[in-house]
Structures are given as structure tokens and as C-alpha cells.
Amino acid sequence: DAGVIQSPRHEVTEMGQEVTLRCKPISGHDYLFWYRQTMMRGLELLIYFNNNVPIDDSGMPEDRFSAKMPNASFSTLKIQPSEPRDSAVYFCASSLQRVSYNEQFFGPGTRLTVL
């Protein structure tokens, strides 16, 4: 398995533009997580899905952020309109349905810069 795949790896955009980040989880994993990492705030959970259903989006900063998971192999995180303070590395992670707690496997991240 290629692991969690994210695209693009780097995105530079101007304030006000729409940004869409993509994630393909590891095949067979039931959970998908979106994280944001900045120097100031560290690694923060934005939202996670179980079997394609959003379970907890309390970490989503504001209405400009939205996430979807139309099927088990694909998820998007959209920012519209983007702002400079959204600049961060966005990680997607996936994990198995668990009886006991299992590790999350992280994708390589998307480095977003909003000018």
C-alpha cells in the first residue's frame, strides 16, 4: 500500500481564492482525520470521518472551512475564501476501526501558503 496520499504537496494562493486539499486514505481504513499544523498552535484536529460520515467537526476554525468524504477512498478539505492566517501544513491521517486504540497513519501533508 502506498500509504495515505495527499495532493497537492504545496499550494501557494492569494487571499480570497478557494483552496481544495485532497486525501486518499489507506485502503480498508475506516477513519479519516484532517489536521492542521502551525508553529504557533502545533498539530490540531480539524475534523474526522468514520465510514465516510463526519463525526466531529468541532475543530474546524470557521465557516470558510468545509470537508467532505464522498466515498471510502477520497476526502477533500476546502477553504473558501482563503486568508493568510490559513497558511499551515494540512495533514490527512487514516486508521482502522478499532477494538482497542490503533495508530493513525499520516499522509505527507500539504503546505499551504496564502499570500
Partner 1 sequence: EDKVVQSPLSLVVHEGDTVTLNCSYEVTNFRSLLWYKQEKKAPTFLFMLTSSGIEKKSGRLSSILDKKELFSILNITATQTGDSAVYLCAVPEEGNNDMRFGAGTRLTVKP
Q: Smaller CB distance to partner 1: residue 62 or 103?
A: 103
For the chain, percent helix, then strand, then coil, each to nearest 5?
Answer: 5, 55, 45
Q: What is the chain's alpha carbon radius of gyration, rounded to the nearest angstrom?
A: 13
Sign of CA dihedral 2, 11, 67, 44: positive
- Selected from 13, 87, 105, 113, the binder of partner 1 by CB under 8 A is 105
Per-residue binding letters, 33-72, with partner 1 (x by CB under 8 A): x--------xxxx--x-x----xx--x-------------
E strands, 72-109, in order: 74-79, 88-95, 105-106
Q: Where does this chain touch partner 1 (CB under 8 A) — which range of 10-18, 61-69, 72-80, 99-107?
A: 99-107
Residues found near partner 1 in the complex (CB under 8 A)? 4, 31, 33, 42-45, 48, 50, 55-56, 59, 91, 95, 98, 100-101, 103-109
